[in-house]
Amino acid sequence: MIRQLHNKLVAGEITAVDLAQQYLRVIQEKDPEILAYLTVLEEQVLHEATLVDEKLKRGESIDLLEGIPGAIKDNILIEGVRATSASKILDNYIAPYDATVIARLKSVHTLFLGKTNMDEFAFGSSTESSAYQVTKNPYDQTRVPGGTSGGSAACVASGEAVWALGSDTGGSIRQPASFCGVVGLKPTYGRVSRYGLMAGASSLDQIGPIAQTVEDVAIVFSRIAGHDPCDATTAEGGYEKKYEDYLGNDVRGKKIGIPKEYFSADLDPRIKALCDTAIEHFKTLGIEVKEISLPHSSYALPSYYIIQPCEVSSNFARYDGIRFGLSIDDKEDSREKTSTLLETYLDTRRYGFGAEVKRRIMLGTYSLSSGYYDAYYLKAQKVRALLKQDFEKAFEQVDFIFSPTTPEPAFKIGSKTTDPLKMYLGDVYTITANLTGVPAISFPIGSVEEEGKHLPIGGQLQGKWFDEENLLCVADAFEKIHQKNREK
């Protein structure tokens, strides 16, 4: 899609301003119902589009992504633009600088339509914990778009943006991509800079693209990947590669592993059937498919839900009501007119954070507190080492690991909000890629029918560390054969 739009821009069939206006119109029409955006940057996007048109008029060549309108998750900073992370504690926060991914995208003059809704601070799996609005799934507006990058996935699926950036700590790019029938990539930990991404769980967070096709995802990914001196956890190199140029390479002879632990008897038979069809497609492409074992899989979820809140509880000390964000220092429940330091902390965080944020901070604080550290955090880090060993062994036999992205299609709004544990269990297929750091991509493999609505189902491929090139290649080959079969 990006390539076609780029060709039209270069051929003069459309202008960048036309394109931006077209997307702004779709936002105006659809977003009052979908509620994917928290902020729309109409003036800025039109101004930037004018600059691209001037460049084209001068006959200068433009980048593939130049002038192509996208959307940015609200926990990623754009200088001078409000960034709330969908939390009341940052209601008035204006980003003082550009995230590295934003600076990179600005350098190729892409367009930012706005900031997208998300679960508050990216904790959740449905975008329902946003302090502002509940984004709807474009395929069935009584259902969630997934989360936490629900706004980003929904705006791409509903045609309110060509591409979007999300962030993924436990599946937050892939699960909403799956629920909304689009493609989402969580890169290898360390491939994309986290500078300017509001920290959640620092050893798990990674920014990645969401778009309609694997090629579009590759195009955006190429322009955000690479080493950044501002994020010491980024790996060397990686910014010179154009991943879209490798698509179409021969995938014959590659090997995909099917972990027996991911396909237990209680997997939804409709999803199992779609996975079986997908496996047949892989075989048609000349890819060898074999069963593998990831023996520690069942320990991934409890381990994740210890590590993530622990890191969160530490990172979130910054929301103190002193340096930035909401500050409450003389509410009626304070004991004195002017609150003490402790009262400011307690009140600011009580009113500023939603229930899920409070739960995670308290869980993390509890797990890290004296006497519990060994039983929880240390234990979870050991399980993490075992999970990594599982993957290392698997990758001696195969190049990729295939599974569904989620154990179910998009669920009804409100159906899980009262039971946090139930919400957590839906992350079973996605979280291991964050714990082990491997890259993982979700792409549509079909749909299931519920109440007359066709709900998309995503398949997930996990690849070797820093092997996004082959991962994107196989996903792209699958997408083409899947498309061809749908047209039959």
Q: Contacts with another protein in 450-479 (CB under 8 A)?
A: 465
Region near another protein per CB under 8 A, out of 213-221, 374-382, 450-458, 471-479: 374-382
Distance between CA 234 and CA 226 in Å, rounded? 7
**Least spacing, CB of residue 159 vs another protein, in Å:** 34
Distance between CA 166 and CA 172 in Å, rounded? 7
Shorter beta-carbon distance to another protein: residue 232 or 265: 232
Shorter beta-carbon distance to another protein: residue 166 or 437: 437
Residue (of 80, 89, 157) closest to 115 by Cα position: 80
Region near another protein per CB under 8 A, out of 54-62, 116-124, 263-271, 420-428: 420-428
232 binds another protein (CB under 8 A): yes
* Contacts of residue 452, Cβ cutoff 8 Å, sequence gap at least 6: none
Inter-residue contact 401 to 292 (CB < 8 Å): yes
Starting at the edge strand found earlier in the chain, the sheet holding 183-186 runs 37-40, 111-116, 69-73, 163-167, 207-211, 183-186, 440-450, 453-463, 400-404, 255-259, 288-292
Q: Site for another protein (CB under 8 A): which residue of 376, 395, 429, 478?
A: 376
Which pair of structure tokens corresponds to residue 355?
């229930």
- Subset of 102-121 contacting another protein (CB under 8 A): none
233 binds another protein (CB under 8 A): yes
415 binds another protein (CB under 8 A): no
**Least spacing, CB of residue 426 vs another protein, in Å:** 14
Fill in the amino acid letter for 230: C
Would you give the binding string for another protein spanning residues 329-348, x where CB under 8 A is met?
x---x-----xxxx-xxxx-
Residues in the chain: 488
412 binds another protein (CB under 8 A): no
89 binds another protein (CB under 8 A): no
* Contacts of residue 385, Cβ cutoff 8 Å, sequence gap at least 6: none
443 binds another protein (CB under 8 A): no
Shorter beta-carbon distance to another protein: residue 142 or 365: 365
Q: Site for another protein (CB under 8 A): which residue of 305, 395, 400, 478?
A: 305
Q: Site for another protein (CB under 8 A): which residue of 361, 413, 428, 471?
A: 361
Which pair of structure tokens corresponds to residue 105?
């995208």
User: b/e map of 325-347 (b: 16 or more CB within 10 Å)?
Assistant: bbebbeeeebeeeebeeebbbbb
314 binds another protein (CB under 8 A): no
Region near another protein per CB under 8 A, out of 39-47, 147-155, 166-174, 226-234: 226-234
198 binds another protein (CB under 8 A): no
Q: Site for another protein (CB under 8 A): which residue of 63, 79, 408, 469?
A: 79
92 binds another protein (CB under 8 A): yes
Distance between CA 326 and CA 45 in Å, rounded? 29
Fill in the amino acid letter for 33: E
In three-state secondary structure terms, 112 is strand
Shorter beta-carbon distance to another protein: residue 17 or 235: 235
